[in-house]
A and B are shown apart, each in its own frame.
Chain A
């Protein structure tokens, strides 16, 4: 039997991208806006989401999709706010993909939702590779992680529309240079908006809330 060479040139993430586009269209059809929040574990994604819910739930109908490798700890916290929460346990996978989000969106009543918030799995590498169909990618980087992260994880910073520098309340205790960090992010991604915040004390969050409200208009 003779050996044949088949030229393929097909992207491995192509199928994921197609599904992400489908999710995006479905949300548009129902006038829903979806944000994909990504960061390392412990950077403050859940705290940011809780603050955002508290501040905006009277104006905007919010639903949350929680991605975790295991457990429902985050989902339990959020459902106490009387917000619809869909928990995705990825069973080991380090990121959410478009297929998981499609299944989660399916369980939401989109007619009763304005904003879908995805809390991605805590990880600075993989979530940036997998489009899910979000309208905006939000990235959180917390002060204790260090200001050199854009150089180490360039892809994540290239994909972000908004970069929140979280935990600025502990800036005095760390050698984190906010200007150096902002320059590094703008270097890779000049259109990214950078907001220094503290999800704990609430400092700086008003800028984030108004950005989000404007984005929804």
Chain B
């Protein structure tokens, strides 16, 4: 839901790193997106397509690697992927849990030339 500011940071980071490596073009951005990051792919693509105009990233594609949410039960330490709207541990039904994956939102790598 907040893709515009996300894409602004994405583009700034990508350009900064590509220019530092003396690249003339960014071909692909490998992005890691956690389930809880609240980021919608279509919206990222949409903003990227016009924010990247007239930059060396104008032709770049974004490849998404999705990370499902993972929780760890604080009682029995079971690690599980929660079902929709149910954060209880499937082993012991405890709801004291820590979010251990799903918040990711980072550029893993760039493919440039």
* Contact, CB under 8 Å: A8 / B112: no
By size class, the interface of chain A is: 35 or more
A-B contact pairs, 16 of them (CB 8 A): A4-B21, A5-B109, A5-B111, A6-B110, A6-B111, A10-B13, A13-B9, A16-B9, A126-B2, A129-B37, A129-B38, A150-B87, A151-B87, A152-B85, A186-B96, A188-B97
A210 to B55, CA, bound (A): 53
Interface check B36, CB cutoff 8 A: yes
A53 to B60, CA, bound (A): 50
The total of Cβ contacts below 8 Å across the A-B interface reads 107
Distance of B64 from chain A, by nearest CB (Å): 13
Which residue of chain A lies nearest to B6 when distances are taken between CB atoms in the complex?
A12
Contacts of B113 in A (CB 8 A): 1-4
Contacts of B57 in A (CB 8 A): none
Query: Which DSSP category, helix, strand, loop or mixed, fits chain A's interface?
Result: mixed
A10, A15, A123 interface centre (most CB from chain B within 10 Å): A10
- Given contacts A5-B109, A7-B108, A8-B109, are A151 and B86 in contact (CB under 8 A)? yes
Contacts of B36 in A (CB 8 A): 154-155
Contacts of A158 in B (CB 8 A): 99
* Contact, CB under 8 Å: A187 / B9: no
Residues of A whose CB lies within 8 Å of any CB of B are: 1-16, 92-95, 97, 123, 125-126, 129-130, 148, 150-152, 154-155, 158, 183-184, 186-188, 190
- Given contacts A8-B110, A9-B107, A10-B106, are A125 and B97 in contact (CB under 8 A)? no
